[in-house]
A and B are shown apart, each in its own frame.
Chain A
Amino acid sequence: MPTCSRNKRSAWTADVPLAALRRGLLPSLGLGLIFVAVGSGCSDGRVRQPVVDGGAVEKLRTELVSSTAAAEGGEDEGATGIGWGTLKGRFVFAGTPADAKALSVDKDTEVCSKDGGKLLDRSLLVDSSTKGLANVVVFVRKSSRVKESAPADAPLVFDQKQCEFITPVFAARVGQEIDVHNSDPVGHNTNISGTSFNQLIPAGNGTLFKPAAETAMPTAVTCNIHPWMKAYIVFRKDGYVGVSAADGSFTIPDLPAGELLEFQVWHERSTGPNQALGLARPDLNWTPKGRFQVKIEADEVKDIGTLEVPAAALGG
């Protein structure tokens, strides 16, 4: 990239003889300088691009082309532990939440704001008596083994009523059948971002959906007919997901015991990267990426206690 120096101007002004300036050279000089300023503008005002080293590129390319698949193995440490444990905890909001904003409902008002009821923004739900913070998601990043459980005999129900998704944060296993349902007398469409699913759900009806892949973080679910409708869904292969209840508490049972597990924490309002919730809990190795580590013994119910979420972590 060429670089444009704009410092030339000051050097010039100093060198032009003052006598000449007094004789009325100033206007033409000024005009000239404007030309210089305009002409030298080769930066387009965009944020600077990283400069790469051609040698490093060539070297890496040779490696990518020549090396056959690197020796594998050694990665899988194997499932050595036995037994299962449970993790529990409770999120509380340290602060006073502002009143939830009313959503602008401008379609199908006879159903969506029945009896003049208003739909409220649900991105920050704090229990007034216990200060519990709802809808915080906690899930295992990688699990070495998974406890077999009897396959569900009925699909999970993800429902919508009065133009709201009933469950604001929903979790399911990859491959588990989900009945995307509509209990409203009006039609909806359910659009799960990052997946193939965006389908019409007629009034009083449902469609089955089987998530095919994990979501790295909870992904947004919307209805395009009623754009204020919003929920989040998280799909994990092992199903080790906890979503905090109205009182802020969460429980994840049947976790592999005897090994260091790493958990990822998420909240819709979190200002962390990808909405990861970072907390000041060095005892749990809690990182700014919203991850903490815990080891659970067999048959143990590990309680990590009350987890205080400062208002600033959720954007005030």
Chain B
Amino acid sequence: MNNNPADVRHPRGPRPVWGMKLLVLLVLLVMFAASGCGATPPAWFRLNMVEATKQKLTPEQERQVATVISAMFGTPDNPVALPETGLDEAKLRLAAGPVRSDIVGRKNGLYREHCAHCHGVTGDALGPTAAFLNPYPRDYRPGIFKFKSTERADKPTHADLTRVLKKGIPGTSMPSFALLSETQIDALVEYVKYLSIRGETEIGLIRAIFELDEEAEGKLPETREFLVGERLAEVVEKWKAADTALIDVPEMPADIDLVESIAKGRELFYGDKANCVKCHGPTALGDGQANDYDDWNKYVVEWTSKEVNGDADKQWVNRAHRVLDGDTLEPRTIQPRNLRRGIYRGGRRPLDLYYRIHAGINGAPMPGAKGTVPPEDIWHIVNYVQSLPYELDGELGADRPMVARDRF
């Protein structure tokens, strides 16, 4: 910087104080402008600092994981999809990178245009708007998705994610992207899968450091066999299995009497077999068990309360708290769904409700009724749940407004 202080010195003493003041201010202003951050650096993926700190990685190990993951997946501007991922690099390129257009009418950088401000460039749900949303946006890195047509722990199908993008998630900040073209939505779904596979592989790599034998001296083997054959394959296999792991839904019995079915569903709702009442509450307003956490929040809560504060190494505790401040959001307890609003996040088709009740909701405390409640009974619960927004008396009591909309 060439703001030589001599420039502001007036040769002749006190007279033009104002001029000098202005000059000083001007110089400082120039300095202020010059001291900014310079050219914007290219976008980069953030290392999962929560997992890295949880596993107490050394700076050297952090660098190794960052290098390996970067070699396997590239950068936000230049994504790489190894053939083993099964991802389509052409689709990724449409979604990745800064927002730009190379051909008239075609836009690239869709993820950063539509998704990154909440879900973050890394897909870590730490975009600039994330902290202001309730519920928080989804962090793709653990590879857990809620609204899908597969069994609880299975990945969602391509169609499941497409559906979420097209319909949005009612009751949350996730809007519908139905105005985008099929190609664009398809590219975004592919990119979300890419971020999720990348994030889950990264977590796997960080955890693998603990599993190393002593001889490895804390260094992951940089071989194709380990990185692709073990770590990546473990994640990719689950995604590949998803499209054939659909929940087998029997048709709702055709001769079902709706009034009877709703009554049966009500019985199940309050009974201790399906036990919906425990969390969704005796009035189904979502006022039951509400002091639990979902998997994403529990991950933070348990770490803070137990491992961080109980550790003897104060320097590490200090760092852990900085990571908790900067790389996580304030944990929130779960909110069992208020079933009287008629808003269903995972879709409002009877089929969607069947999936939720059968398999439970991955990542959330909601357990699956599969194996405990026979399929026909699940349909009764679906019918009862669908009737709840319109049930005017019963458990709700006469002291509450009769019109669903006015109760909130």
Interface residues of A (CB under 8 A from B): 1-2, 4, 8, 12, 15-17, 20, 23-25, 28-29, 31-33, 35-36, 39-40, 42, 44-47, 49-53, 56-58, 60-61, 63-65, 67, 69-70, 72, 106-107, 185-187, 189-191, 193, 195-196, 198-203, 205, 207, 216, 224-227, 262, 271, 273-274, 276, 287, 289, 291, 312, 315-316
Contact = CB atoms under 8 A, between A and B. Distances in A.
Contact of A12 (B5, B228, B367): B5
Contacts of A273: 55-56, 210
A216 B211 CA distance: 8
A271 to B, nearest CB: 6
A12 B331 CA distance: 44
B372 A207 contact: yes
A32 B224 contact: no
Interface string B288-312: 0101100100000000000100111
Contacts of A20: 8-9, 20, 24
A47 B224 contact: no
B63 A35 contact: no
A262 B213 CA distance: 10
Given A187-B275, A273-B210, A47 B323 contact: yes
B24 A29 contact: yes
Given A20-B20, A39-B35, A52-B70, A202 B272 contact: yes
B31 interface: yes
A32 B46 contact: no
B224 A51 contact: no
Contact of B224 (A8, A58, A69, A190): A69
B370 interface: yes
Contacts of A65: 82
Interface of B: 1, 5, 8-9, 14, 17, 20-21, 24-25, 28-29, 31-33, 35-38, 41, 44, 46-47, 49, 53, 55-56, 59, 62-63, 65-68, 70-72, 80, 82, 151-154, 207, 210-211, 213-214, 222-225, 227-229, 272-275, 278-279, 289, 291-292, 295, 307, 310-312, 319, 322-323, 325-327, 360, 365-373
A46 B24 contact: no
A52 B272 contact: no
B292 A70 contact: no
A205 B372 contact: yes
A46 B327 contact: yes
Given A187-B273, A187-B278, A42 B67 contact: no
Contact of B66 (A49, A58, A64, A190): A49
The 3 nearest A-B residue pairs measured at CB: A32-B28, A46-B326, A196-B153
B272 A187 contact: yes
Given A57-B71, A225-B275, A49 B24 contact: no
A273 B205 CA distance: 15
B35 A191 contact: no
Given A64-B71, A70-B225, A199 B360 contact: yes
B326 A44 contact: yes
Nearest to B333: A227
Nearest to B292: A227
Contact of A16 (B8, B68, B279): B8
Nearest to B293: A227
A310 B63 CA distance: 34
Contact of A32 (B32, B63, B210, B229): B32
Contact of B152 (A2, A12, A51, A196): A196
A61 to B, nearest CB: 4
Contacts of B62: 50
B63 to A, nearest CB: 4
Given A4-B37, A45-B326, A196-B152, A289 B210 contact: yes
A12 B30 CA distance: 14
A38 B193 CA distance: 39
Contacts of A35: 28-29, 32
B67 A203 contact: no
A198 B368 contact: yes
